[in-house]
Structure 1
Amino acid sequence: MATELLTTSLANFIQLYTILLIVRILLTWFQTMNWANQIAAVLSPVTDPYLNIFRSFIPPLGGALDISPILAILCLQILSSLLISV
């Protein structure tokens, strides 16, 4: 019973963190908007350490296109699926 609660809680946390990552990634498209910078400033300390792990493996293409968040989200989704299946 306790393990089920733990795995469900972890899976829910991973889903919430994935949403935060997606919001952070979308905010990079609106860097000229003042409100986007304020939200990104709050999310950056939470999301960037995890994203930096993947950025060290996959540098931005052409200096502008960063595809590392795709791999980061994919890893979280796989982990969440594994936790739910247990």
Structure 2
Amino acid sequence: MSSFLAIFNMAIGIAWWIIIVQAVMSWLISFNVLNIRQPLVYQIWSGLNRLTEPVYRPIRNLLPSMGGIDITPVIVLLALSALQIVVNNNLSPY
């Protein structure tokens, strides 16, 4: 069971960093620090969006419009942390 917990924690950690990188990259693109027309930036941005959009879309449908502020990544990070805590606390004794 400990190997399952280690793999689960590693997957949560990878998902955490993907969401953080995507959020920071969206800020950099919004403030014109990164140019989306560069091929490498576009490929990274497109790949990150393909990974995160299936998770973000249902949450964005539930949230009311908040102008230009998107708190979906924060909600997903909180949900991932809560899931990690619940799984670790319930499976670690086994």
- Name the TM-score class by shorter chain: 0.7 to 0.9
Partners in 2 of 1:25 and 1:36 — Cα distance?
14
Whether 2:70 is the aligned partner of 1:66: answer yes
Structure 1 Cα separation of the partners of residues 60 and 27 of structure 2? 18
Q: Which runs of 5+ in 1 are unaligned?
A: none
Structure 1 residue aligned with 2:11, among 3, 10, 13?
A: 13
Compute the RMSD of aligned alpha carbons. Answer: 1.6
In the other structure, the counterpart of 1:41 is 46
Decide which of 15, 27, 30 is 2:28's aligned counterpart.
Answer: 30
Runs of 4+ in 1 over 4 A off after TM superposition: none
Cα offsets for 1:4-59 (capped at 9, x unmatched):
21122112101110110110011111223235433111111111111112111114
- Runs (5+) with no aligned partner, structure 2: none
Question: Contact conserved, 1:30 with 1:36, CA < 8 A, in 2?
Answer: no
Aligned residues: percent identity? 22
What's 1:53 paired with? 58
**Aligned residue among 79, 83, 93 for 1:79:** 83
Q: TM-score, normalised by structure 1?
A: 0.82
SS of the counterpart of 1:65? coil
How many residue pairs end up in the alignment? 83
Matched with 1:4 is: 2
